[in-house]
């Protein structure tokens, strides 16, 4: 992941440029390879680069041929070649996939251009007079914006870069853009299934093809890459599809140096944790170069403050899950790997969380799907992006591909409901049931949340540790101390204390949401607290779930 920091419409350009350079250091972990700055008119663009594509000539900000326009982007645009052809550009300064984003500023109505992008992005493009800010459809890439005391707009990949300058700031919403020409924030991503309940039966062949395309799109890079492999359904499907496709490439003699023996990574707090056991099985089956990182509980506890600093949240579920991912990221980066594929988004799309067993109403099920997708940018997308970006690693998420989302929401949600004995995410499992690329025991494994799958003792000891750290008296003052998003447990109180110390700005607390399972009487977000959770090995045949 790269990092951007931009100041737009400033009155004192020289001073603002110095501030941009200084503030840029706060997010240098996102882009440790190079730094770049550009200014024209009253706008300054800053960029911290993680080189993934176009290693030699892709440094940013990228500047147009006539040197009038520049773009600073944290982005991966998978269809940039097609976009160049559509919009008629023939002279390019680089081979970067991000240079195409400058077209956004040329459009009278940018919605069509933004909707034609297949990829993930947060970017600012400026010509010194006009500027445009935008973020991808789901918010895979983080972005914050705010204003200083003089009314200038500041934009950054992480809010820590805005603390010293903005009088207020907020999350820049996914699927939106802001144009200085209209002074309006507008939504460009509004699929029909956001507003209407789909009908019809699932087309398994279409769903499978869309997912395979989504995975392969995300292998476009010029650096070594790997996959996060928990042994759960989602990461297992990504790994299995990726391995199968790379083998086809090699068998056809079109291998361009990429190996079918990809790196896979799994983390746990116990060598016998559910995730480690299942991931090991699949790695053996696929023949990946598998890496296990086994942590101590104390290592996890010791890293909590760092995790809150990098992830910029106090949400209990996000922190529980971010700790092992953050510690795993250091191992990944030590091996020289800068890009990782992962399985985020599947549970939101298909209702994979165990609390979805709490409703058999397709309408309510679908509405919860859409709600979760619209909140992913402050939960799982935030965790995956920022935990890995702490060590200069980019995450790519095939399940959140725009075309795959359309395929996954093209049929009646009743097929996603866990009714008539169906296991959660039955549609996704059934899509690959006749394939020989994944072990059946993993294809039909019950959902295990990341913070549980790394080892059940992790959450138990974390709760005990935080209970010991927060006195009964302090906890009794929680409503007075924290009237907004008041902590409901001592664990939540402990995280909130750290967060407010690290991010004392009055706007910071409002950027965070609390993840709470719906249709559940137990407010602890752990999947183990759901009645449908099975502690023993959970396997089920496809026929018994059809």
Query: Which amino acids are annotated catalytic?
Result: 2
Cβ count near 509 (within 10 Å): 17
Q: How big is the chain, counted in residues?
A: 546
Sequence-distant contacts of 142-148: CB under 8 A, at least 24 apart: 142/377, 142/381, 142/382, 142/385, 142/386, 143/74, 143/171, 143/172, 144/169, 144/170, 144/171, 144/172, 144/511, 145/169, 145/170, 145/172, 145/178, 146/170, 146/507
Nearest by Cα to 144 from 378, 361, 322 = 378
Can you tell me whether residue 316 is helix, strand or coil?
helix
Nearest by Cα to 20 from 196, 118, 238, 166 = 166
Cβ count near 349 (within 10 Å): 24
For CA atoms 414, 417, 418, 424, give the dihedral sign: positive
Crossing angle (nearest 10°) for helices 490-502 and 316-334: 60
Cis peptide before 530 (omega within 30 of 0): no
Strand partners, 341: 227, 396
Burial 422-441 (b: 16+ CB within 10 A, else e): bbbbbbbbbbbbeeebbbeb
Cβ–Cβ < 8 Å for 321, 267: no
**Which H helix or E strand runs over 72?**
strand 70-77
DSSP 251: H
List the beta strands (DSSP E) in 136-286: 144-147, 153-156, 168-171, 176-179, 184-187, 225-228, 263-268
DSSP 97: T
Cα separation, 456 vs 21, whole angstroms: 44
In the chain, what is the straight-line distance between the N-terminal and C-terminal CA atoms, in Å?
A: 41
For CA atoms 417, 421, 426, 427, give the dihedral sign: negative
Can you tell me whether residue 227 is helix, strand or coil?
strand
């Amino acid at each position: 992941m790269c990092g951007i920091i931009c100041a737009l419409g400033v009155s004192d350009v020289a001073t603002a440029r110095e501030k941009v350079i200084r503030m840029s250091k706060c997010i240098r972990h996102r882009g440790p390879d190079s730094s770049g700055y550009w200014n024209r008119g009253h706008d300054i663009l800053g960029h911290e680069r993680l080189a993934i594509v176009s290693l030699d000539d892709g440094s940013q900000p990228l500047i147009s041929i006539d040197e009038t326009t520049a773009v600073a982007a944290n982005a991966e645009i998978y269809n940039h070649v097609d976009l160049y052809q559509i919009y008629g550009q023939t002279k390019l300064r680089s081979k970067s996939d991000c240079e195409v984003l400058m077209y956004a500023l040329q459009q009278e109505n940018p919605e069509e251009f933004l909707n034609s992008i297949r990829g993930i992005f947060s970017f600012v493009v400026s010509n010194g007079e006009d500027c445009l800010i935008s973020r991808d459809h789901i918010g895979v890439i983080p972005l914050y914006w705010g204003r200083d005391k003089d009314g200038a707009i500041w934009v950054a990949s992480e809010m820590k870069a805005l603390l010293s300058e903005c009088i207020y700031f907020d999350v820049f919403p996914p699927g939106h853009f802001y144009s200085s020409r209209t002074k309006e924030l507008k939504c460009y991503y509004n699929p029909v299934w956001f507003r209407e309940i789909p009908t019809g039966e699932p087309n398994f062949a279409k769903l499978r093809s869309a997912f395979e395309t989504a995975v392969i799109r995300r292998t476009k890079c010029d650096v070594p890459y790997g996959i996060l492999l928990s042994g759960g359904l989602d990461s297992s499907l990504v790994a299995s599809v990726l391995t199968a496709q790379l083998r086809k490439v090699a068998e056809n003699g079109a291998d361009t140096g990429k190996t079918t023996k990809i790196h896979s990574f799994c983390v746990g707090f116990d060598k016998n944790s559910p995730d480690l056991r299942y991931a090991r099985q699949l790695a053996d089956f696929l023949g990946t170069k598998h890496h296990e990182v086994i942590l101590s509980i104390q290592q996890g506890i010791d890293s909590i403050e760092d995790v809150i600093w990098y992830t910029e949240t106090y949400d209990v579920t996000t922190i529980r899950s971010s700790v092992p991912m953050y510690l795993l990221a250091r191992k990944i980066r030590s091996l020289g790997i800068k890009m990782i594929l992962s399985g985020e988004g599947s549970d939101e799309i298909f209702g994979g969380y165990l609390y979805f067993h709490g409703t058999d109403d397709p309408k309510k099920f679908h509405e919860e799907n859409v709600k979760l997708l619209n909140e992913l940018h402050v939960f799982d997308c935030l965790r995956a992006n920022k935990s890995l970006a702490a060590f200069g690693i980019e995450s790519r998420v095939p399940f959140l591909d725009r075309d795959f989302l359309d395929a996954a929401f093209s049929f009646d949600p009743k097929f996603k409901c866990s009714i008539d004995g169906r296991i959660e995410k039955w549609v996704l499992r059934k899509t690959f049931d006749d394939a020989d690329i994944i072990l059946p025991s993993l294809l039909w494994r019950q959902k295990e949340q990341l913070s549980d799958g790394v080892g059940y003792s992790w959450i138990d000891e974390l709760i005990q540790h935080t209970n010991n750290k927060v006195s009964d008296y302090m906890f009794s003052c929680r409503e007075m101390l924290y009237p907004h998003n008041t902590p409901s447990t001592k664990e939540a109180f402990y995280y909130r204390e750290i967060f407010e110390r690290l991010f004392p700005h009055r706007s910071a607390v409002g950027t965070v949401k609390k993840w709470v399972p719906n249709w559940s009487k137990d407010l602890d977000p752990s999947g183990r607290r759901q009645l449908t959770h099975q502690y023993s090995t959970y396997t089920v045949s496809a026929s018994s779930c059809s």
